[in-house]
Structure 1
Amino acid sequence: MGIGGPDAGMTTSEYAVGTLGACAVAAALYKVATSAAVMEALHAALDRALHAT
């Protein structure tokens, strides 16, 4: 056995799957954050904040 045992680190394929998963999550979050409903809500909240008395 090498240093750290047989399961010491991820293999290249595990890194690839992890990277693809992270990219999929990032793409989904981007779609939600840039959707019309979210943009309208952010605009309304910013408008209320700027025109608060």
Structure 2
Amino acid sequence: MFPRPRYVFLDDRGMSTVEYALGLLSAAVLAMILFGIVKSGTVAEGLTGLIERAINVAG
């Protein structure tokens, strides 16, 4: 009637949906954090300077 206790932990049906949801949530949070960092003034100025130097070297 009930599964043996050692088989309860081996049965992972239904776990993939939760794992995908947590992975998607983690990726969204990480993207928001990185977006906030890149939009900060210091990082934006550094990236702009890097791009300008690359254009000046190539051109």
Work out whether the TM-score is over 0.5: yes
Percent of pairs with identical residues: 38
Say which structure is richer in helix: 2
TM-score by length of 2: 0.55
Amino acid paired to 2:28: C
The two structures, once aligned, show a CA RMSD in angstroms of: 2.6
Is 1:18 the counterpart of 2:26? The answer is: no
Larger radius of gyration: 2
Q: How many residues align?
A: 49
Structure 2 residue aligned with 1:33: 38
Unmatched runs of 5 consecutive residues or more in structure 1: 1-5
Unmatched runs of 5 consecutive residues or more in structure 2: 1-10
